[in-house]
Chains A and B, each alone.
Chain A
């Protein structure tokens, strides 16, 4: 069984500030972890994923996430927020990297203010 918890349904940051979106997972097997982003009126877009190997994963648009097994976490960060980062972000886990049976979190809506 697997599950994902995203802390904070809404996060607001100032432009230029650090973005930190939290994700904790539960998985009975070594997890494959994903962050998806949904911009207004668009589909879910893959930001980054962790499968094996390096625990710090870099994605598109300056986002990165670090897999911490001891903390069962996969938090998403970006050093400096931009207005265009405003979107909904979803953390997801898969038992084997398969594109099916993705288990998603409830999502975090990121607001970026001037």
Chain B
């Protein structure tokens, strides 16, 4: 069964460093998303991406964050200068369309900023 895959499963980085979280969405999907869950808190929407551009983003998704689809299969989330409060589980998701459709989630990348 097709699935969304994320790498790495766990990443530890020093404060101020740049990190790139990688996702391979399901191949025929056109819409891509990043969500995050800070430990003990709710899963929060970060950004949605369609047709090689951001379609929606939340207040959390500020200038330190960026997304891209560099090669037609990977979908990446870059955090430019990590802060302690960026420590969270980051989930990638994809869907066939953007409306009335199921979003398929990956297993998540746990980011720990020290």
Contact = CB atoms under 8 A, between A and B. Distances in A.
Interface of A: 4, 32, 36, 41-46, 49, 51, 90, 92, 96-107
B16 to A, nearest CB: 29
A99 B95 contact: yes
Nearest to A97: B100
B91 A46 contact: no
B102 interface: yes
B3 interface: yes
Given A43-B106, A98-B100, A104-B35, 6 more contacts: A43-B3, A43-B107, A44-B43, A99-B31, A99-B98, A107-B42
Contacts of B41: 106
A100 B35 CA distance: 9
Interface in B27-84: 31, 33, 35, 40-45, 48, 55-56
Contact of A101 (B42, B45, B91, B100): B45
A98 B99 contact: yes
B103 interface: yes
Contacts of A41: 107
Given A46-B102, A99-B33, A104 B43 contact: yes
Chain B residues touching A, range: 20 to 34
Contact of A100 (B4, B6, B33): B33
Contact of A102 (B4, B99, B103): B103
Contacts of B42: 4, 103-107
11 contacts: A43-B4, A43-B91, A43-B104, A43-B105, A46-B104, A49-B102, A90-B43, A99-B99, A102-B35, A104-B42, A105-B42
A45 B105 CA distance: 7
Contacts of A105: 42
